[in-house]
Chains A and B, each alone.
Chain A
């Protein structure tokens, strides 16, 4: 069964360092997302991406964050200068459609980011 894959599964970094989280969405999906989940909190939307551009971003997704689809398969999230509060599980997701029936999200297993 097709699945969303994410690497790394766990990354530990020093505050102020740059981090890139990588995702390979399901191949025929057109919509891509990053969500994050701080330990014990809810899953929060960061950004959605369609047709090679950001379609929506949340207030969390500030200038320190960026996304890219460098080739036909990878979808990356970059955090330029990590802060302690960026420590969370980051989930990549993809869907065939945006919203509604067919808009269910397929999530990866997550990348746990720990900022020291």
Chain B
């Protein structure tokens, strides 16, 4: 099944800058990929879904890209705010034709005022 890799080191970023997170997967390219936000001690919250035929998706200050050649998705938070501090999870089907989600370990973002 898939191995989903996200940077284990926290990303510390100054308020107002753009945070960029990476999600790499190792095997087959999924039909879609999702990003979630998780705050400490709370359940993940869905943010964005991008399909394999979409290069880019935006929602307010969030942008996701999906490069099936590189087997990679990038997640951007523009004009970051302290309230954006959280862990961001990448999720995708663990193998072809499967509909459940496997999650990466997540990448913590800390926005410094």
Q: In the complex, which residues of chain A have a beta carbon less than 8 angstroms from the beta carbon of B45?
A: 107
A28 at the interface (CB under 8 A from B): no
Q: Which of A80-110 contact B (CB under 8 A)?
A: 89, 91, 93, 98-101, 103-110
- How far is the CB of B46 from the nearest CB of chain A, in Å? 4
B93 close to A99 (CB less than 8 A): yes
Task: Name A91's contact: one of B43, B93, B100 (CB within 8 Å).
Answer: B43
Which residue of the partner chain A has the closest CB to B89? A43
Q: Does B86 contact A (CB under 8 A)?
A: no
Provided the pairs A42-B105, A42-B106 are in contact, do residues A99 and B99 lie with their beta carbons within 8 angstroms? Answer: yes
In the complex, A42 Cα to B23 Cα: how many Å? 14
- Complex interface: chain B residues within 8 A of A48 (CB): 99-100
B39-55 toward A: CB 8 Å interface, digit per residue (1/0)? 00111111001010000
